[in-house]
Amino acid sequence: MITIKEALTKKEMKDYVMFSFELYKNNPYWIPPIIADELETFDKTKNPALQSAEAHFYLAYKNGKIVGKIAAIINWEEVKILGKKKTRFGWFDVIDDIEVTKALLAKVEELGKKHHMDHIEGPMGFSNLDKVGILSEGFEQMGNMITWYSQPYYLTHFEKLGYTKEKEYIESSFSFNDINPEPFQKASELIKKRYELRSLNFTKTKDIMPYVDKMFDLFNDTYSKLQSFVPINDIQKAYFKKKYIGFINPEYIKFILDKNNNMIAFAIVMPGFANALKKANGKLFPFGFYHLLQARKQSKEVVFYLIGVSPEYQSKGVTAIIFDEYYKVCKAKGIETCIRTPELEENHAIHNLWKNFNSKINKRRRTYKKDI
């Protein structure tokens, strides 16, 4: 018999997080999150995304053992701003038993019907900066810290239960050694002169902080045309600034300004933390923090996390400046592999940025939808 219980206590929330560790304990491709960080993400008193999103965390039990989990979510800003009556689900993991999946998804449907929503979509998080999608290709590829790994049978479960593919995302990578820098090096100087632009480079995190709010404003502007985009509010800006900016190498954050010091483009790249997170296995102490610190300094991979260009400049070759700056940094650090994180299949503007980099798609992921 399958029993579904909402996780409410600290112990139950710890069980919720740790189920994924149990499910994937022998999987070489799954990247474990930091347990304390994951618990903070689910804490309504700490994560500002939960001020505008309703979330319930459910555990499935069978014969007294945890066999699955799911988060049922309504992002009320999405409902009010975009007019989408959508119930989200995320942080989904389950054993290969479709009846468990069915029982968990029934709780998501229950939440949606309670609030008169008209469809369900997932897996996705509380906001646009959370993880998204289940794998449809690339199950034998190492994950990274900003994506979910998933079992191949998740696809079968969803489709047998009447869910249909909603959004498709692609991930890819390319070798740094395959890059020919001449085209964007030449273009970078020309574009800087033509539009009177300059790049900002950093060696200290404290020098980045005065620009971060402007970066998030530009992020909102850049992605506003995507059909599923909900702007980041001021409280979320402050949270992300405090929690993440200091963790990223300052030399991996780039801003482009115009002659009036207005930010017209930004990019954030992160070191590849996958192997360090595998070694940490969810714990910062006693050795996890050391592994992450070493990866921050020595990783030969970089992950392109975010890039944004003001709509006014999107067809003017500004990304040549960004690529030129990153080429200098990556060459100095001996970077070998560059990873592109999930990009919506429909986001052709982003795909076009990489047309000269000989990148190869190595993963696909998708969200699933069902009307209720």
Residue identified by tokens 């008209």 is 118
Helix then strand count (H, E) for the chain reads 12, 13
Which parts of the chain fold into alpha helices (H)? 10-23, 35-41, 76-77, 98-114, 153-160, 182-195, 205-223, 234-244, 274-280, 288-298, 319-333, 348-353
Output DSSP code: residue 247. G
Angle at alpha carbon of residue 135, lines to 132 and 138, rounded to 5°: 130
| CATH 3.40.630.30, the chain: domain bounds | 2-169, 180-356
**Confidence category of residue 244, pLDDT binned at 50, 70, 90:** confident
**2-169, which class in CATH?**
alpha beta
Mean pLDDT, residues 284-297: 94
- pLDDT beyond 80 at 226: no
| Window from 251-255, 312-316, 346-350 with minimum mean pLDDT | 346-350
Q: What is the pLDDT of residues 305-333, one digit of tens each?
A: 989 999 999 889 999 999 999 999 999 99
Residue 131: is its pLDDT beyond 90?
yes
Q: Which residue has the tokens 């964007």?
A: 184
- CA angle 33–35–37, rounded 5-degree value: 80
**Mean residue pLDDT across the chain:** 94
**Percent share of the chain, pLDDT over 70:** 99
Contact 171, 340 (CB under 8 A): yes
Confidence of residue 352 (pLDDT cuts 50, 70, 90): confident
What pLDDT does 92 receive?
98
pLDDT in tens, 61-99: 999 999 999 999 999 999 998 899 999 999 999 999 999
* CA 30/CA 144 separation, integer angstroms: 8
| Pick from 274, 284, 204, 193: nearest CA to 245 | 204
**Class of 180-356 in CATH:** alpha beta
Q: Is the pLDDT of residue 184 over 70?
A: yes
Weakest mean pLDDT among 103-107, 251-255, 345-349: 345-349
Is 118:130 a contact under the CB 8 Å cutoff?
no
Q: Which residues of 325-346 are buried (b: 16+ CB within 10 A; e: fewer)?
A: bbbebbeebebeebbbbbbbee
Tokens of 93: 């993991």
Listed range (139-153, 215-229, 294-308, 357-371) with the worst mean pLDDT: 215-229
pLDDT at 227: 66
> What pLDDT is stored for residue 353 in this prediction?
77
* Chain centroid to CA 130: 5
Averaged over 41-51, what is the pLDDT? 94
